Amino acid sequence: MRPWWRLRELFGGSRVRIGKRFSLQGRLTFRGPGTVVFGDDVTVMAHATPYTHSPDARITIGDRALINGTRFGCEREIRIGADTDVADARICDTDFHPLSRRRRTDHTLEPASGPVVVEDNVWIAAAVFICQGVTIGRDAVVGVASVVRKDVPPGRLWAGNPARDIGPVPD
């Protein structure tokens, strides 16, 4: 087992912080100047890509989270809570470009952005896309191939494109 400082160096230097008992069972590809923080007992499976797009960008993954091939695009902030399972999903806190028709000629336009917060004990299934400014409440489930554009209340199952409330998460 490599000492923690070797793992830190291997995974991108001081901009990557790795908690205790980190388990890498797949691959990680880091890009960008921001910070990525993994809590304790985090498991990364498949190929995850935490990309940051600004020096102030911060991706935080809580304790005991499972990240299974997730792709992150972070301009400001993405937070994944403790005990959360995230499958091969896409999470972005920015549109990367303005939606205006003038987007190619007016370089003063700013893309829409807002933090993405996934609270504790959430399950995000495969092929889900979570858009900027969304909060997914504690104990919620987001079904396969959903596009989440609005906040998901705690303890609710959401699915579809666009995602909508299906009902309470079963006990």
Q: Known catalytic residues? A: 97
- Judged on CB neighbours under 10 Å (0-12, 13-18, 19+), 17 is middle
Q: What is the DSSP string of 114-155?
A: --EEE-TT-EE-TT-EE-TT-EE-TT-EE-TT-EE-S-B-TT
User: How far is the C-alpha of 76 from the C-alpha of 90, rounded, in Å?
Assistant: 16
Strand partners, 16: 36
Can you list the alpha helix ranges (DSSP code H) found in 21-149? Answer: none
Q: Which residue has the tokens 């990525």?
A: 36
